[in-house]
Copies of this chain bind each other. A is one copy, B any other.
Amino acid sequence: MNGYANNKDQLLARLKRAEGQVRGIARMVEEDTYCIDVLTQVSAATKALEAVALSLLADHLSHCVAEASAQGGSVAEEKIREANEAIARLVRS
């Protein structure tokens, strides 16, 4: 099971858009677009991926972590440890 089941369509739409953004950046590079204009689009694509990550994380905490915590025990601890590592990777990326 995963936490984003109810958001799957929205997530896929966002990822399709992000993929299109990255493809658009490649096209800009092929057409020798001015560096700063390419950079602006890279920042936009990065922000789009960050929004995907925050959405995935929010669903994960609301469902997977909340349910494991309701059951308690070592599974709950492991889920929280794992979530913290994912958050740290995200903050540092």
A84 pairs with B66, CB closer than 8 A: no
Q: Mark A28-63, 1 if CB is under 8 A from B, else 0.
A: 011011111011101111110110111011111110
Query: So how many copies of this chain end up in the complex?
Result: 4
Which DSSP category, helix, strand, loop or mixed, fits chain A's interface?
Answer: helix
A35 pairs with B2, CB closer than 8 A: yes
Q: Residues of B contacting A11 with CB < 8 Å?
A: 29
Distance to closest chain B CB from A72 (angstroms): 6
A60 pairs with B35, CB closer than 8 A: yes
Q: Residues of B contacting A60 with CB < 8 Å?
A: 35-36, 39
Distance to closest chain B CB from A40 (angstroms): 7
Distance to closest chain B CB from A13 (angstroms): 10
